[in-house]
Amino acid sequence: MAGRFKPIMMTAAVFFLVAAVAPLFVPSWATLFALILAKSIVVLGIILLLQAGQVSFGHAMFFVTGAYSAAFWGKYVGGGDIVLYLVLGAASSTVLGFIVGLFVMRYREIFFGMLNLAFSMVLWSLLEKMFHYTNGADGIRVARPGFLGLAFTPEAFQYVILYVSLLIAIAAFFGVQRYLDSPLGHMLRAIKSNETRLEYLGTSARRVLLVGYVISAFLGGIGGTLVAIIQQIATPEFGYWTKSGEFVFIAILGGGAHAFGAFAGAAMFEVVRFYAAAQLVNAWQLILGVVLIVIILYAPNGLIGFRQRDNRSKEGGH
Amino acid sequence: MNSTLAILAVLDGISYAALVFLVSVGLSLIFGVLRVVNVAHGSFYAFGAYLAATFSLAVAPLSPWLTYPALVAASIVIGVVCGGLIERFLLRPLYGRDDVLQLLITFAAFMVMDNLQRLIWGVQPIFANEPLKLLSNISVFGVNYTSYQVLLLPCVALLTLIGLRYFLRRTLAGAVIMAVTEDREAATAIGIDAKRVYFVTFIIGASFAALGGALALPTTSLVPGMGADMIVLSFAVAATAGLGQIEGTAVTALMIGLARAFIIYIQPEFEVLVPYLLMVMVLLVRPYGLFGATQLRKI
């Protein structure tokens, strides 16, 4: 398996290198790449669940939790540090992921997706309607935090957050791969292929899925915190169902079979949005929608699937 | 809360439930037969409303009464054209493949339609309430209300429910749909064209969503994003009832409609929360929905 994925690891290395170097020459790319990396971290969580054959259509609830933990801290406590925000975002989304996970673990496929959607819509309506605490649909501004006690100018800050995102993304990328290669990760995949047999082996499929779910919530929270810091705002729209759909979209676009799919998909998605949104305000979704349709119909393994010559993952996946 | 407000809330709830039912029942029907969660369903609703606005604004100068057939025509056009195209070219190649892909391709269709809607009809709110003005107001226990909302909408919803039941249980075409739903292979073996059944069912379901949109037109203003809001709401109704449960959808729509209407008068900020909270609570206890049997493959 390691040999088969080598070209992908090379591509991943090149991608991370480009993300680190290219923005030094084109300053507007700093934010673009930071967003790509932050979104990729969330999508890594979606890919984890896809390994178990489960699709969460409510994952934006963890994303929005991460974003709002930074926003609330800024609003009610004041001051702030990237590291503090990340710890807060990760902790709150992990706790939420554990609590929600305890409930959704009991269900699979459409019921799993539905229940996730329902939970996320409850959170969204609370954020949207508790105007007094959350400013409603306008959201809460996230003031530019410091980093390890240092303050930065806006120009320097976009690079700081880029490199923070890059480090976390690389760690998450290798962490997720390590996890998927571990016994626990293999058991996660076994939920997709044959859950009954997994139970026969004496493991609890629910517990295996719960671990995967909590990790994926953790990644969602970190990504949400990063996006809130990058865009300097947290709005309820971060937790709306279309956001959840967007993450699944990116995962399928990039390819759910390998962790790098998250990065390939997010890069494609954000680049199209970055350039198309400027020229065609009301058409960038249309373009992405058409791209997704083409990918699903003609390349169901996603962008990274183009590189895989043999069809083994196809046979295993469907 | 006095009795006038209570009656008002009940009337609000009923008229709202009628619209939500029309959309949800289409979603439920499509899921029941095709096993596809149609994310583009809200777009059919929005397109139905917008096309109905275009049609009725065009015919209103001739005679305001023509707006009624215009609403129906708009929903059929959307159902057949949009529904037909999506089933034929997007869903059909994916039958038998991963559920995720089927769901996601309707999500892609939703994204495309959402933008098309902005490109075709713009982002400014659109009003067209001729049909509402044509019918007089009526007084229900001393509360004045438009008869369009308290009589026409519930009647359409009720006729839809009865008609759909009759169609599925008493006609040959309905029996064919039921057969494919029950066991696709066996149905194909006795010569039923399952692909055609899927095609027709999807068009019927899409038309219901578009009809819901068209009938909502006189009571609301059309804004971008209305489709995205409606799909989750109708999904909440359909899932709470149990996907594929037609009568259950009617009861649940009424329940959620009334609950929402009362909440608006008591604690307005929780209006949007109600359906989703109800959905969470029901699904936690009964994942197959209030009316769903453990064997879900049923319409």
Please report whether residue B192 resides in a domain. yes
B65-91 pLDDT, tens digit per residue, is 888 888 889 999 999 999 999 999 998
User: What percentage of chain B exceeds 90 in pLDDT?
Assistant: 23
Is A6-317 assigned to CATH 1.10.3470? yes
Per the listing, tokens 């107001």 go with B137
pLDDT-based confidence at residue B124 (cuts at 50, 70, 90)? confident
Quote the mean pLDDT of chain B.
Answer: 85
Using a CB–CB cutoff of 8 Å, tell me whether A252 touches chain B: yes
pLDDT at B295: 53
Instruction: Give the model's pLDDT for residue B23.
Output: 93
Which of A136-145, A222-231, B66-75, B145-154 holds the top average pLDDT? A222-231
User: Above 90 in pLDDT, residue A66?
Assistant: yes
Q: Residue B97 and residue A282: Cβ atoms within 8 Å?
A: no
Q: How high is the ipTM of this complex?
A: 0.84
Cβ distance A111 to B111 less than 8 Å, yes or no, reads no
Indicate yes or no: CB of A241 within 8 angstroms of CB of B94.
no
* Tokens describing residue A98: 């554990």
Q: Which residues on adjacent β-strands are paired with residue A147?
A: A150
Q: Is B286 left (phi over 0), alpha (psi -120 to 50) or beta?
A: beta
Contact residues on chain B for A288, CB-CB shorter than 8 A: 111
Q: Does A242 touch chain B (CB under 8 A)?
A: yes
Give the CA distances from residue A236 to residues A35, A87, B68, in Å, rounded to whole numbers and listed in that order. 18, 21, 38
Ramachandran angles phi, psi of A313, nearest 5°: -65, -30
Confidence (pLDDT) at A306: 66
- Check pLDDT > 50 for residue B251: yes
The Cα–Cα gap between B242 and A210 comes to: 25
Quick count: other Cβ atoms within 10 Å of Cβ B151?
16
Mean pLDDT for the stretch of residues A310-314: 45
CA–CA min distance A164, chain B (Å): 32
Q: Kindly determine whether residue A292 and residue B232, on different chains, have CB atoms separated by under 8 Å.
A: no
Residue A130: closest C-alpha in chain B? B269
Please state the length of chain B: 299
Q: pLDDT at position B1, please?
A: 65
Q: Is B261 exposed, middle or buried (0-12, 13-18, 19+ CB in 10 A)?
A: buried
**A245 vs B: CB within 8 A:** yes
Locate the chain B residue with the closest alpha carbon to A108: B287
Look at residue B120 and tell me whether its pLDDT is greater than 80: yes
- Residue B298: its pLDDT value, please? 42
Could you say which of A57, A125, A292 has the minimum Cβ distance to residue B272? A125
Res A173: pLDDT:
93
Q: pLDDT digits over B129-144, tens only?
A: 777 777 777 777 777 7
Nearest CA in chain A to B235: A114
Mean pLDDT for A159-173 is 92
Contact pairs from chain A to chain B, CB under 8 Å:
122
Residue A138 scores a pLDDT above 70: yes
CA B197, CA B214: separation in Å to the nearest integer? 25
Q: Which of B40-54, B127-141, B235-249 has the lowest mean pLDDT?
A: B127-141
Question: Which amino acid belongs to residue A137?
Answer: A
Residue B202 is part of which domain span? 3-285
Q: Which residues pair with B144 in a beta bridge?
A: B139
**What are the residues whose beta carbons fall under 8 Å from the beta carbon of B24, sequence distance 6 or more?**
B234, B235, B237, B238, B241, B249, B252, B253
Q: Mean pLDDT, chain A, as a whole number?
A: 85
Least confidently predicted of A136-150, A171-185, B282-296 = B282-296
- Between B26 and B149, name the one with better pLDDT: B26
Residue labelled with tokens 């915190």: A225
Set of chain B residues whose Cβ sits within 8 Å of the Cβ of A113: 37, 103
Question: Is the Cβ pair B115, A285 closer than 8 Å?
Answer: yes
Q: Considering CB atoms only, which of A119, A122, A131 is closest to B269?
A: A131
Residues 6+ apart with CB under 8 A from A153: none
The residue among B24, B280, B288 with the most chain A CBs within 10 A of its CB, best to mutate, is: B280
DSSP state letters, B120-158: HH-SS-B---HHHHHSPEEEETTEEEEHIIIIIHHHHHH
What average pLDDT score do residues B146-167 get? Answer: 86
What pLDDT shows up at residue A312? 46
Q: What mean pLDDT do residues A74-97 have?
A: 89
Q: What is the pLDDT of residue A317?
A: 41
Question: In this predicted structure, what is the pLDDT of residue A216?
Answer: 94
Q: Binning pLDDT at 50, 70 and 90, where does residue B182 land?
A: confident
Interface of B with A (CB under 8 A): 37, 39, 90, 93-94, 97-101, 103-105, 107-112, 114-116, 118-119, 123, 228, 232, 235-236, 239, 243, 269-273, 276-277, 279-280, 283-284, 287-288
CATH number at residue B41: 1.10.3470
Residue A30's pLDDT is what?
Answer: 87
The answer to whether position B80 is within a domain reads: yes
Q: What would the pLDDT profile of A242-261 be if each residue is shown by its tens digit?
A: 899 999 989 988 887 888 88
Q: Which residue of A has its CA nearest to B280?
A: A118
- pLDDT-based confidence at residue A134 (cuts at 50, 70, 90): confident
Q: Is A155 in contact with A176 (CB distance < 8 Å)?
A: no
Using CA coordinates, name the residue in chain B closest to A55. Answer: B100
Q: Residue A286: which of B116, B269, B273 has the nearest Cβ?
A: B116
Domain for residue B146, yes or no? yes
DSSP string, A65-117: HHHHHHHHIIIII---BHHHHHHHHHHHHHHHHHHHHHHHTT--HHHHHHHHH
Rounded average pLDDT over B274-296: 78
Consecutive H or E run containing A268: helix A260-279
List strand residue ranges (DSSP E) for chain B, in order: 137-140, 143-146
Are residues A110 and B243, on separate chains, in Cβ contact within 8 Å? yes
A126-141 mean pLDDT: 83
Candidates B115, B243, B285, partner chain A, best to mutate (most A CBs within 10 A): B115
Number of domain units in chain B: 1
Q: For residue A114, give the nearest of B39, B111, B239 by CB distance.
A: B239
Q: Is residue B138 part of a domain?
A: yes
The whole-angstrom distance between A286's CA and the closest CA on chain B is 4
pLDDT band at B191 (very low <50, low <70, confident <90, very high): confident
Whether B291 is covered by a domain: the verdict is no
Would you say residue A308 has pLDDT above 70? no
Q: Do B272 and A128 touch (CB under 8 A)?
A: yes
Chain B contact present for A247, CB below 8 A = no
Confidence (pLDDT) at A162: 92
Assess if residue B290 is contained within a domain.
no
Residues of B in contact with A284 (CB under 8 A): 115
Predicted pLDDT at A87: 93
Binned at pLDDT 50, 70 and 90, residue A307 comes out as low
Pairing between strand B137-140 and B143-146?
antiparallel
Give residue-wise pLDDT tens across range B197-216.
899 999 999 999 999 999 88
